[in-house]
Structure 1
Amino acid sequence: MKILYGVQGTGNGHIARARIMAKAFAKRDDIEVDFIFSGRDPSRYFDMEVFGNYRTVTGLTFITENGEVNRWETLKQANIRQFIRDVKQLNVAKYHVLLNDFEPVTAWAAKMKDLSSISISHQAAFKHKVPKQGEAWTDRMLMRTFAPCDVNLGVHWYHFGFPIMPPFIEESYSKATKGEHVLVYLPFENVEAIKALLEKFPNEKFVCYHPDIDGPFATANSQWRPLSKQTFQQALFECAGVIANGGFELSSECLQLGKKILVKPLKNQYEQTSNRVTLERMNRCDSMDSLDPNIVSKWLSKDSPEPITYPNSPDILINWLLEGDYMDTKRLCEQLWKITRFPESVRMSLANGA
């Protein structure tokens, strides 16, 4: 079976999910997979060895400034001519199916050239009546037209009664320890603004990752590091908690590792504000709309939550792909939720919010 896999490269969460899939595919001798990434300058991808001879295209991306999506700049910098050229030039004839994680070039190429396509993304979950906040008609149009696929398999922390899969998380609670530092990952915020916030807590230790940091350095109470999957994961395993934007994959890892989370959703990005709503319904996060030291102070004093156990392997999904009955998503999702384990406190929170 030959699979084309399109991945949105704007955020590291899409790539993290694709890494888990790539590792599982590499163990099989009955599947060949080619990866295409878009939405990021090719020089800014890192730790990509698992994807083999992957390709990059320009695609479409979102422009952020100071923790907020700049819609005007996003529209102004969209290279529509290049996008159309990439779609037309992409040869999909040798593939049996497209897997797509919110990547527009491969999605539209598959649509135009009659290749079966399956969306395996967090964004696909928002096509259903899951908890949402701040959704505008432009958001609904974006979800329908940005990366359209024949089958939409959403990925979320709970199914809410829809064809939605749990996330695949390789890391287990057994790997986690509770160290002294707080991990800070706010890639859409200004570095100086983050520094100003953390300086208000001289007795705390912080480890901060940011895409604008070129090399490691230290301030009075903080270690600053460039993006690196390996060192980031170690800092995550050993941290006392995480301060982050409202992205899906990092929050998923925190849920499984039993790490407390303080989220500051990206403004004008309804996916992240909706993620906050679900995390709050599960009683698994605190949140802030700005870099608020008062909220940080209260959060720092809180205990760690009980972990959630999500599937650690996509083998059930891969076997389903090989069977070829792509419209039968119910059986697949039921199998995956059967091996997901929620603490009783989360079950009660979800039941009360239903």
Structure 2
Amino acid sequence: MRVLYGVQATGNGHISRARAVGKYLQAEGIAVDFLFSGRPADQLFDMQQFGDYQLKAGLTFVTEQGQINYLKTALRAKPLELWRDIRQLDCSPYDLVLTDFEPVTAWAARLQKKRSVAFGHQYAFLHQIPQADSTPLSRSIFKFFAPGQQQIGLHWHHFNQPILPPIVDLEPAENTAEPDKVLVYLPFEDQNKVLQWLHPLTQYQFYLYGPGLSKSQSGHIQCSGPCVEQFKHDLRQSYAVISNAGFELVSEALQLQKRILVKALQGQMEQQSNALALNQLQLGQSTKILNTDVIKTWLTSPSHSSKVQYANVAQALAKWIRAGACPTELSQMNLWHDRSAQT
């Protein structure tokens, strides 16, 4: 069986899911070719696992200081290049096209009538889940940006909808948290401002990851640019996580039962909805602003770490795909074995 797997590379969450799913697809004996879009080649890192992957421009949002710049997003869009890439992508060698909200593979499969499965957090928004500032435009984006013949949504809770738990790229290991260690990942914020917020809080050890940062240490703040293995190591050892409201990192933090504080990317309906859901499920805390006082108040407040444990959805999906990807069989998978822990 040969599969074309399209991955939206705008954020690291989709790539993290691809690391998990890709390993299990290959373990099932499935040949996988990857295509990434939405990020320049020089901004990708630790991509060895994906072999000789394709890279396309796709579509992405431009962010500045914690919010989307819609004007720059429109000016940098390349619709003609996107259409050309869709038309030129040959899906004929593949038995199945997978897409994690990646438009080139999704639309190429649709035009060529190739069987396709779309999965990811965005497809959960096609169901009745907590949504903040939902508009006809946002609903259309979720429906048409990267459609598939079968569409599988992922979320932290089932909300009595036909969606699956998160796909978490974490190998089994002991969760040994250090009581003063805090992981900070705020890629959409000005990193100099983040450093200013953290600097007065000398009673904590902050491990700050972000674009443009070089590996260095200034007192109680350890800085690092994007990487995979060291990031996951520090995530395991931290007792708390401060991040934007992206789905994948929060999912990993929930699985590891960390304290979580998120600041949603302004103007990004998905992240704002994630923050809303996190509050409603009482699995973490969200804030509309970040500064030293907000961070200090949260760190010194009573601990409310998550109490969830998710099934191995990546492995289940890989086995389901290898068995023929029958919709009925997917609906019968009992992946919400932790329902009692979901409040």
Deviations 1:94-125 (A, max 9, x none): 11111110101111111111011111110000
Q: Is the 8 A contact 1:100 1:107 kept in 2?
A: yes
Q: CA RMSD in A?
A: 1.7
Percent of aligned pairs with the same residue?
Answer: 38
Checking the alignment, whether the CA contact within 8 Å between 1:309 and 1:342 is kept in structure 2 is no
Q: Does 1:126 align with 2:112?
A: no
The residue aligned with 1:219 is: 218
Contact 1:99-1:117 at 8 Å conserved across structures: yes
Q: What is residue 19 of structure 1 aligned with on the other side? A: 19
Q: For residue 219 of structure 1, report the CA deviation from its aligned partner.
A: 2.3
Q: Which residue of 2 aligns with 1:104?
A: 103
TM-score (norm 2): 0.94
1:352 aligned residue: none
Cα distance in 1 between the residues matched to 2:319 and 2:70:
40
Following TM superposition, the consecutive aligned residue runs of length 4 or more in structure 1 with deviations greater than 4 angstroms are: none
Give SS of 2:130's match.
Answer: coil
Contact 2:183 2:238 (C-alpha < 8 Å) held by counterparts: yes
Q: CA deviation at 1:310?
A: 0.8
Contact 1:264 1:290 in 2 (8 A): yes
| Structure 2 counterpart SS, 1:241 | strand
1:351 is matched with which residue?
A: none
Deviates more, 1:155-164 or 1:183-192: 155-164
**Alpha-carbon deviation of 1:145?**
1.8
What residue number does 1:168 align with? 167
3-state SS of paired residue (2:335): helix
Partners of 2:211 and 2:329 lie apart in 1 by 37
Structure 2 vs 1, CA of residues 342 and 53 (structure 1 numbering), >3 Å: closer, same or farther?
A: farther
Change (3 A) 1:160 1:272: same
Q: CA deviation at 1:14?
A: 0.2
Q: Evaluate the alpha carbon distance shift between residue 2 and residue 172 of structure 1 in structure 2; reply closer, same or farther with a 3 A threshold.
A: closer
Q: Within 5 A, what are the aligned runs for 1:1-354?
A: 1-29=1-29, 31-171=30-170, 175-179=174-178, 180-213=180-213, 215-301=214-300, 302-303=302-303, 305-312=305-312, 314-328=314-328, 331-332=331-332, 334-338=333-337, 340=338, 342-343=340-341, 346-347=342-343
How many residues were matched structurally? Answer: 341
Q: Distance in 1 between matches of 2:218 and 2:328?
A: 54
Q: Please give the alpha-carbon distance, in whole angstroms, between the structure 1 residues aligned to 2:131 and 2:222.
A: 35
| Bigger shift: residues 191-200 or 264-273 | 191-200
Unaligned runs of 5+ in 1: 348-354
Q: SS where residue 334 of structure 2 aligns?
A: helix
Q: Deviations over 1:234-292 (max 9, x none)?
A: 11011120000001111011111110000000000111111111111121111111113
Amino acid at match of 2:18: A
Q: Is the 8 A contact 1:16 1:249 kept in 2?
A: yes
| Offset of residue 304 of structure 1 | 5.1
